[in-house]
C-alpha cells in the first residue's frame, strides 16, 4: 500500500449513506490508518467508523491531511456547485485531490488552473494511462501466482474478497499483492488501472500490464475482478480482464440468495447454478493458460448467522469446492484452498 | 448502402499489396459502383479490379470523386509526409476524406484548418460517437432477426461472410441489412461504430445501438463479428459484441487448416475443435437471449477445389451443421440454414 498520504475523505451529505459510499467505506476498512477525517457538513462533530467528521476543509487542516479523496458518488456522477466549492477549498488549502467518478476533475479548467497555481495534483483515478497498448503475451510469462475474483453479478464484493485474501495472506507472511482494476481499489492501493475505462482494444493489454506490475511487487497476486461473464452490460470487461490478467486460479464470488443479475434492463437475467458458472469460467480460460475455480466466496450480508452458515454449506455442496464468507467468518478457509491448489 | 458518394481510394504504394489493403478490397468488392479511381503514383495508368489507377488527386478530378477514402494501412498506422501531401491535395480539391486508421485525421490541426476553410469533412471512421452509454436492454426487444458472425480467430473473414449473406438475402428479396462494427465495414456500408474503439464500459451499449439502428433499416440483421471468444487480445470486444448485439443466431467462421490463433505473443494458442466452439458460444449466450450456431462458414482461400470441398465436408461432419465457403461456392447454402432456423 502507498504510504505518506493522509486522507481527508470528501463525503458531503452522504457520509452515512449505505449506497453511495463504496470508496469511503473501502478506504476506511482497508486503509484506515491513513485517514485523518471525513468531510460532511451535515454531520460535523460526529464520527464515522471512529474517524472524526468535519464540516469544512479548513476544519480538517489541524489533522494534517495531504490529499482529499472523493469518497462518495455524487448525484448523476457529476459535481454540483456545492461540491465544486469544496474541491476548490481543498486545492486552495494545498491538498492534492483524488477522484474516481466518471467525470474528470482535470477537465474543469478553473479547478485545473487553480491547482497549477497552488502546485497540487488533481488525480482522476479512472483516467487510463495514455500509453496503453494491446496485450503482448507477457502476461503468460509473469513469474507469480495470479488469482482473479470472478462472480455471478457486479457489486457483490469481488474487490472486498480480493482485499481480504490479500490481507490474510500478508498476515501469514506471504509476498501478497492486491491488484486494483477499478477506482475504489485504486484509491485503496494507490496504484492500478480502471479497466472499464480503457479503449476496448486495450482491455487485455491493461490487465496484462497490471499483472506485470503486480509481479514486481510480490508473487501472489489477487486481481480485483470486474463485472460477470454473463452480465449483459459488462461481460466484455470481464472477459478482457480474464484473458489479460491470465490467472491460474479463480475465486468465484456470489451473493447468497441472488438469483438474477440486478439493475439491468431487458431481463429477467437469471444467474445460472454455481456449478455451471464454475465450469463456464474454466472453459472460457485460454488454452495457453488453463485456470480453475478453487473456492467460492459467499457474501452473506444481511443474513443471520445460521442462514449465513447454510448459504456457505449449500455453495459447498453445489460446487464441491470449499466456500466461506471471508468478511464474516475470516479469509482463512478460502486462503487455505488457494494455497492448497498451489501446492498440489 | 449509402448513395451519392463517389470514392477516390487512396492506396499510395500499396494498391497491389495483399496485406495492407483490406478496406480498398472490401469497398471494391461490395461497393464497386461507387468507386471512380484508385490513387497510387507507383501504378498510374494501370487498373485495379477494373478501376483506373491515377497518379495524383488532380488526375482523378475528371472522374468526379466526392470523397477520398484511405484504403490501405500505412506504415505503423501513421501518416508519413507523402500521405499528408496527398490528404492535403484531396482537401484542397474539395474532397471529403474518410479514414479508418487508428490515427485520426481530425487531430492534424493543419489539415483540419484547411478542411474548415474548404468546407469539406474529415471523417474518422474509428472515432466513436460522443454520446455512447451502457447497454439498456433495448437490444432484447429489437424487432428483427439478429445473426452475428463469430469465429475461431481474427481476420479470417467474418465481415466478408456477413456481407455475402446480406447480399444473397437481398437478392432473395429479404429486408436484409449488414451491420458494420469495424472501420472497413463502416467504409463499405456508410454507417456503423468501430466497437473496438469505444470505452470498454460502453462495448455492449455500442453494439445495442447498432442493432437498434439496424432494425430501423430492415428486419434481418447481419452483425459483423469481431475477434474471437478465446482470442488472448480481443476476446473482451468479442463478448461485449455478443451480449450487446443480442443475436438469436450465430454463423461460426473458421479458416480451413488453422489450428492456432495467429500473431499473438505468449503462445502457442491452440484453437479448440469446432464442435467445442459451437457449444462454448451457445453456453456463453445470455440466458435472456439463448442463441445457437446454425451453420459454419469455412474460409478455403488458397486451397484447390477438391481440398476446399473436403474442408467444408469435414466442418459439417465435425459439427453436424451445414457448412460452406460463401465466397467460393456462394452464400446460398448458409443462407438456407439461417432461413430454415427462422422458420423452425
CB B123 within 8 A of CB B97: yes
Provide mean pLDDT across the span A220-237: 98
Q: Is the predicted pLDDT of residue A2 greater than 70, yes or no?
A: no
Q: How much is the mean pLDDT over chain A?
A: 95
Cβ-defined contact of A237 to B200 (cutoff 8 Å): yes
**Set of chain B residues whose Cβ sits within 8 Å of the Cβ of A228:** none
List the single best residue of A128, A201, A202 to mutate versus B (max B Cβ within 10 A). Answer: A201
Q: Give percent of chain B above pLDDT 70.
A: 99
| Mean pLDDT across A213-224 | 98
| Torsion, Cα of A154, A159, A165, A170 (10° steps) | 170
* Cα distance between residue B196 and residue B207, in whole Å: 10
Query: Is there a contact between B196 and A196 if contact means CB atoms under 8 Å apart?
Result: no
Q: How confident is the model at residue A22 (pLDDT cuts 50, 70, 90)?
A: confident
| Chain B residue with the nearest C-alpha to that of A271 | B287
How many Cβ contacts (< 8 angstroms) between chains A and B?
A: 166
Report the alpha-carbon distance of residue B56 to residue B48 in Å, rounded.
15
* Share above pLDDT 90 across residues of chain A, in percent, rounded to a whole number: 90
Place of cell 468465484: A252
- Alpha-carbon distance of A157 to A254, in angstroms, equals 8
- What mean pLDDT do residues A179-205 have? 95
Interface contact B286-A239, CB threshold 8 A: no
* CB pair distance less than 8 Å for B266 and A236: no
Q: Which residues of A touch B241 (CB under 8 A)?
A: 236
Q: How confident is the model at residue A1 (pLDDT cuts 50, 70, 90)?
A: very low
**Is the pLDDT reported for residue A3 higher than 60?**
no
Tell me the pLDDT tens digit for each residue of B101-132.
Answer: 989 998 999 999 999 999 999 999 999 999 99
CB contact under 8 A, A134 and B230: no
A-chain residues within 8 Å CB-CB of B196? 199-201
pLDDT tens for residues A44-89?
A: 999 999 999 999 999 999 999 999 999 998 887 789 999 999 999 9
How many of the other CB atoms lie within 10 Å of CB of B180?
A: 27
Does ipTM come in above 0.90?
yes
Question: Contact, B92 vs B98, CB < 8 A?
Answer: no
Q: Give the closest of B234, B240, B283 to A235, CB-based.
A: B240
pLDDT digits (tens, 9 = 90+) for B140-192: 999 999 999 999 999 999 999 999 999 999 999 999 999 999 999 999 998 99
- Residues A328-339: what's their mean pLDDT? 98
CA distance A107 to chain B (A): 16
Between A55 and B344, residue with greater pLDDT: A55
Residue B84 near residue B97, CB atoms below 8 Å: no
Nearest-by-CA chain B residue for A272: B287
**pLDDT for the residue numbered B3:** 52
Dihedral of alpha carbons B61, B67, B73, B79, sign: positive
How many whole angstroms separate alpha carbon B78 and alpha carbon B87? 13
**Residue from the list B239, B246, B269 with its beta carbon closest to the beta carbon of A236:** B239
Residue A251, pLDDT > 50, answer yes
Smallest Cα distance from B55 to chain A, Å: 35
Please state the separation of Cα A252 from the chain's center in Å: 15
User: Of the candidates A247, A236, A139, which has an alpha carbon nearest to the alpha carbon of residue B265?
Assistant: A139
Which residues, in sequence order, are bridge partners of residue A51? A48
Average pLDDT value over all residues in chain B: 95
Give burial (CB, 10 Å; 0-12/13-18/19+) of B11: buried
What is the least distance, in Å, from the CA of A105 to any CA of chain B?
19
Number of neighbouring beta carbons within 10 Å of residue A73: 18
Contact B236 A241 (CB under 8 A): yes
When mean pLDDT is compared across A8-22, A246-260, B204-218, the lowest value belongs to: A8-22
Question: Which of A266, A282, A285 should be substituted to probe chain B, the one whose Cβ sees the most B Cβ atoms within 10 Å?
Answer: A266
Residues in chain B within 8 Å Cβ distance of A200: 195-200, 203, 236-237, 240
Phi, psi of B160 (to 5 degrees): -60, -45
Contact criterion met (CB < 8 Å) for A233 and B280: no
Of B138, B237, B286, nearest to A201 by CB-CB distance is: B237
Q: Which residues of A touch B137 (CB under 8 A)?
A: 232, 264-267
- Beta bridge pairs of residue A123: A98
pLDDT of residue A324: 98
Smallest CA–CA distance from B288 into chain A, residue = A269
Q: With beta carbons under 8 A apart, name residues in chain A contacting B205.
A: 233
> Is the CB of A198 less than 8 angstroms away from the CB of B197?
no
> Which residue of B lies nearest to A239 if distances are taken between CA atoms?
B236
Mark yes or no for CB contact B266/A229 under 8 Å.
no
- A203/B236 Cβ within 8 A: yes
Contacts of A267 in chain B (CB under 8 A): 137, 288
Share of chain B above pLDDT 90, in %: 90
Nearest CB neighbour to A239, from listed B135, B235, B287: B235
DSSP designation for A130: T
pLDDT tens string B41-86: 999 999 999 999 999 999 999 999 999 999 998 887 789 999 999 9
H helices of chain A, in order, are 22-30, 57-60, 81-92, 109-118, 158-171, 183-189, 203-217, 235-245, 274-284, 305-319, 326-329, 332-343
- Start-end of H helices in A197-253: 203-217, 235-245
- Cα-based distances in Å from A129 to A193, A213, B201: 8, 14, 16
Question: Nearest Cβ partner of B239 from A141, A239, A272?
Answer: A239
Please give the pLDDT value at position B1. Answer: 43
SS3 track for A243-278: HHHCCCEEEEEEECCCCECCCCCCCCCECCCHHHHH
Q: Do B204 and A235 touch (CB under 8 A)?
A: yes
Q: Do B235 and A241 touch (CB under 8 A)?
A: no
Amino acid at each position: 500500500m502507498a504510504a505518506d498520504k493522509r486522507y481527508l475523505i470528501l463525503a458531503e451529505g452522504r457520509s452515512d449513506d449505505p449506497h453511495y459510499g463504496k470508496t469511503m467505506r473501502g478506504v476506511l476498512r482497508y486503509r484506515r490508518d491513513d485517514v485523518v477525517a471525513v468531510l460532511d457538513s451535515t454531520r460535523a462533530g460526529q464520527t464515522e467508523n471512529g474517524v472524526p467528521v468535519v464540516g469544512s476543509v479548513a476544519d480538517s487542516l489541524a489533522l494534517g491531511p495531504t490529499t482529499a479523496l472523493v469518497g462518495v458518488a455524487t448525484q448523476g456522477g457529476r459535481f454540483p456547485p456545492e461540491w465544486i466549492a469544496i474541491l476548490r477549498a481543498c486545492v486552495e488549502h494545498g491538498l492534492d485531490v483524488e477522484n474516481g467518478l466518471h467525470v474528470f476533475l482535470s477537465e474543469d479548467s478553473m479547478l485545473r488552473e487553480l491547482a497549477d497555481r497552488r502546485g497540487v495534483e488533481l488525480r482522476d483515478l479512472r483516467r487510463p494511462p495514455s500509453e496503453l497498448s494491446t496485450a503482448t503475451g507477457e502476461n503468460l510469462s509473469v513469474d507469480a501466482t495470479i488469482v482473479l475474483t470472478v462472480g455471478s453479478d457486479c457489486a457483490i464484493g469481488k474487490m472486498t474478497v480480493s482485499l481480504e485474501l490479500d490481507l490474510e495472506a500478508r498476515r501469514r507472511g506471504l509476498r501478497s499483492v492486491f491488484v486494483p482494476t477499478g477506482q475504489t481499489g485504486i484509491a485503496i492501493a494507490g496504484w492500478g488501472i480502471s479497466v472499464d475505462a480503457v479503449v476496448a482494444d486495450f482491455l487485455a493489454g491493461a490487465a496484462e500490464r497490471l499483472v506485470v506490475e503486480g509481479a514486481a511487487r510480490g508473487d501472489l497476486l489477487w486481481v480485483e475482478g470486474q463485472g460477470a461473464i454473463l452480465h449483459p452490460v459488462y461481460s466484455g470487461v470481464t472477459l478482457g480482464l480474464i484473458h489479460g490478467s491470465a490467472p491460474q486460479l479463480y475465486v468465484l464470488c456470489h451473493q447468497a440468495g441472488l438469483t438474477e443479475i440486478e439493475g439491468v434492463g431487458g431481463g429477467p437475467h437469471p444467474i445460472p447454478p454455481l456449478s455451471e458458472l464454475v465450469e463456464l469460467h474454466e472453459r472460457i480460460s485460454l488454452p495457453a493458460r488453463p485456470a480453475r475455480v478453487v473456492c467460492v466466496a459467499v457474501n452473506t450480508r444481511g443474513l443471520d448467522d445460521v442462514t449465513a452458515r447454510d448459504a456457505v454449506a449449500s455453495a459447498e455442496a453445489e460446487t464441491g469446492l470449499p466456500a466461506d464468507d471471508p468478511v464474516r467468518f475470516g479469509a482463512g478457509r478460502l486462503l487455505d484452498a488457494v494455497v492448497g491448489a498451489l501446492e498440489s
